[in-house]
Amino acid sequence: MVSQKEFVCTVCPVGCRLTVSQAEDGEIVVRGNTCKRGARYGRDEFVDPQRTVTSSVWVEGGDLPLVSVRTQGSVSKAKIPEVLQALKRCKVCAPVHVGDVIIPHVAGTDTNVVATRNVRKK
């Protein structure tokens, strides 16, 4: 066995304790799960955990000071600090609409940061 990690499954409220291990031939084995979705979750968490990042960025000339944003898809957990850095530097001009792309391909990923609310011009 090359490596082994433990997770609590978050797919449903049961919260199975998963043990995921990778053998030397690269095969990944999930144990402790009680359903198929749990096996997939354990595998994803082991190989490359994905997260959705949500935040707010400053708006110039809007009726509100901030607009809430999200990554359209999920990004690799390891990329989160870079995504947050990009968001920190970001400032947009009103008006903003739900779904507007705020940062395309954030932090070199293939996902966009989009607005999740409307902010009108002041």
How many binding residues for another protein (CB under 8 A)? 28
Binding mask 38-77 for another protein (x = CB under 8 A): -------------xxxxxx-x-----xxx-xxx------x
What's the one-letter identity of residue 3? S
Closest approach of another protein to the CB of residue 97, in Å:
10
User: CA-CA distance, 105 to 102, in Å (whole number)?
Assistant: 10
CA atoms of 11 and 14, how far apart (whole Å) = 8
Strand partners, 93: 60
**Angle, vertex CA 107, rays to CA 64 and CA 84, nearest 5:** 45
Q: Does position 84 bind another protein by CB under 8 A?
A: yes
Lookup result for tokens 């043990």: 19
Query: Measured from the CB of residue 99, what is the shortest distance to another protein in angstroms?
Result: 9
**Binding site residues, another protein, CB under 8 A:** 7-10, 13-15, 34, 51-56, 58, 64-66, 68-70, 77, 80, 84, 98, 116-118
